[in-house]
């Protein structure tokens, strides 16, 4: 499967609703954001609190173009929490933080327009 970031690309193939339900997308609050100078592409290391059922998980996010480290703690973000962990250099990324490309392809984080409880699942 090829994923494109081109806003002019057609919609992906039709899937069954059960396939969507298999992807566990949750809301969490960034509690720690750190530099990640070892990453091949500019990125930050994030520690995100997804509430008591899931806990705190780590993520590498290529969000350095639009966000400064000091503005990230306290920000709610959306992430896929049921992909296998992925080794990125010496860092183990446990969740995939979600965003959309801006006009230049730089990541803009996907987050709610108002505060919601950590751990809530997207539906």
The string of pLDDT tens digits covering residues 47-88 is: 999 999 999 999 999 999 999 999 999 999 999 999 999 999
In angstroms, the CA 43 to CA 96 distance is 13
- Domain 18-109: which CATH class? mainly beta
pLDDT at 11 > cutoff 70: yes
What pairing do the DSSP bridges indicate for beta strands 91-93 and 56-61? unpaired
pLDDT at res. 4 = 63
Domain boundaries, the chain: 18-109
List C-alpha distances in Å: 49 to 13, 35, 42, 98: 33, 18, 23, 15
């Amino acid at each position: 499967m090829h994923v494109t970031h081109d806003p002019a690309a057609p919609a992906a193939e039709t899937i069954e609703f059960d396939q969507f339900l298999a992807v566990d997308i949750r809301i969490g609050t960034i509690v720690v954001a750190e530099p990640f100078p070892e990453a091949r592409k500019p990125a930050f290391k994030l520690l995100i609190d997804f509430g008591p059922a899931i806990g705190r998980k780590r993520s590498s996010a290529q969000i350095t173009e639009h966000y400064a480290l000091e503005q990230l703690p306290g920000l709610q973000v959306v992430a896929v929490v049921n992909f296998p962990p992925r080794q990125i250099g010496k860092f183990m990324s446990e969740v995939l933080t979600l965003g959309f490309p801006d006009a230049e392809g730089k990541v803009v984080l996907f987050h709610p327009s108002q505060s919601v409880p950590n751990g809530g699942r997207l539906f």
